[in-house]
Amino acid sequence: MTVAESEHLMSTKKSSRSELAGVRVLVGRARHQAGALSSELRKLGAEVLEIPFIEIHKPRSFKPLDSALKNLSSYDWLILTSVNGVEAMWERMKTLRVGLSDGHRIGREFAFEPAPNERSESKGDDKRGPNDPALTAGAKEFRVAAIGPATKKAIEQRGLRVDVVPKEYVAESVVRSLKNKVKGKGVLLVRAKVARDVIPRELRKAGAHVDVVEAYETVVPESSRRRLRAALKNSKRRPHVVTFTSSSTVRNFMELLNSGKAKAGGQECPPHTILNGIRMASIGPVTSATLRELGLRVDIKAKEFTIPGLVAAIARSLGKVSLRRHGAKEKGA
């Protein structure tokens, strides 16, 4: 490599690290999940403000989920639509002492496989017998669908192979990937308490027997209400961009800004001045539709509906934008 090429490479790396220098980004993911998005933004030089718009809570009753998990062998397909769903399902399997691994695909009994960070440091063999009910969940061929790469990774970290990941990481694409595979099959969909009904409705139309079980619910974190309003009113902390990674983050953002009273057809919009000059960044089309439904703009859209795709979209839109330009917008707010 020549001196000129080396200098160019160094300059490119430095430029990449400062791509979002001076840009303040508000990340509203659940507290335990904000790190991935925040880390990628900080790598590009962004100033990140984390105020969670959602909290993940256990379901009010585990009965439906427990019943499904104890009868996993009766299903042909398992569908998981979020990392939260994966984590909640495996946590419950650990409590119930039932589980999954690829062993069941070839007719063997299968055991719970924890995520890498959940494994014991001890590497000793399990002393339970092969017929212990805590290790046995059936020997039926069992296929798994994940809505996107993050969900797929979370499943695979727990020892289970994923058979289907749709081309686009939305419910409609899950349906397109599965509708010709599920006629007469038993399908278990593990998801949040509140979610769109596209997958169960359309797969039932395709002839599947679908059970939908709640593994968790998302709620508004009351502690974020004051912090959010304070950040929006403080010129030194006011974000240039707000990120939205699901419809829940959009609805809860509006809930945090408002009194929580909903109008017919949607929630009350905040005064325009409170969000004036702030760009709204969306991870995908469903999230974008919710933003528009609630009267908000979609200024930045991810081309790939993932966290890296969202970061890339923000960088394309605001990369190398000076603070003077943002400052001019804020003065006009």
Print pLDDT tens along the chain (333 aa): 444 433 333 343 444 567 899 999 999 977 666 578 999 999 999 999 999 998 889 999 999 999 999 998 899 999 998 899 999 999 999 999 886 654 333 222 334 444 444 433 333 333 333 333 332 344 457 899 998 888 999 999 998 899 999 888 778 888 899 999 999 999 999 988 877 788 899 999 999 999 999 999 888 999 999 999 999 999 889 999 999 998 889 999 999 988 544 343 444 444 456 899 999 999 999 899 999 999 999 999 999 988 999 999 999 998 754 333 444 444 443
Question: Would you state the pLDDT for residue 214?
Answer: 93
CA distance 199 to 179: 10
Q: How far is CA 191 from the centre of its chain?
A: 11
pLDDT given for residue 206 in this prediction: 94
* Architecture of the 16-54+220-331 domain: 3-Layer(aba) Sandwich (3.40)
Residue type, 260: G
Distances (CA, A) of 64 to 26, 52, 60, 70, 155: 36, 28, 11, 10, 21
Report how far residue 312's alpha carbon sits from residue 330's, in angstroms, rounded to the nearest whole number.
24
| Residues 6+ away with beta carbon under 8 Å from 105 | 141, 142, 161
Give tens-digit pLDDT for 198-211: 889 999 999 999 99
Dihedral of CA atoms 187, 188, 194, 198 in degrees, nearest 10, equals -20
Contact 73, 137 (CB under 8 A): yes
pLDDT at 196: 77
Structure tokens at 80: 């998981």
Written as six digits, the tokens of 141 are 């061929």
Q: What separation, in Å, do the N-terminal and C-terminal C-alpha atoms of the chain show?
A: 50
Q: Where are the domains of the chain?
A: 16-54+220-331, 57-117+132-218
Say yes or no: do domains 16-54+220-331 and 57-117+132-218 share a fold: yes
The structure's pTM equals 0.68
pLDDT tens column, 146-187: 988 889 999 999 988 999 998 887 788 888 999 999 999 999
Site of tokens 């002492």? 97
pLDDT at 16: 57
- Rg over alpha carbons for the chain, rounded to the nearest Å, is 23
CATH number at 57-117+132-218: 3.40.50.10090
d(CA 248, CA 29): 10
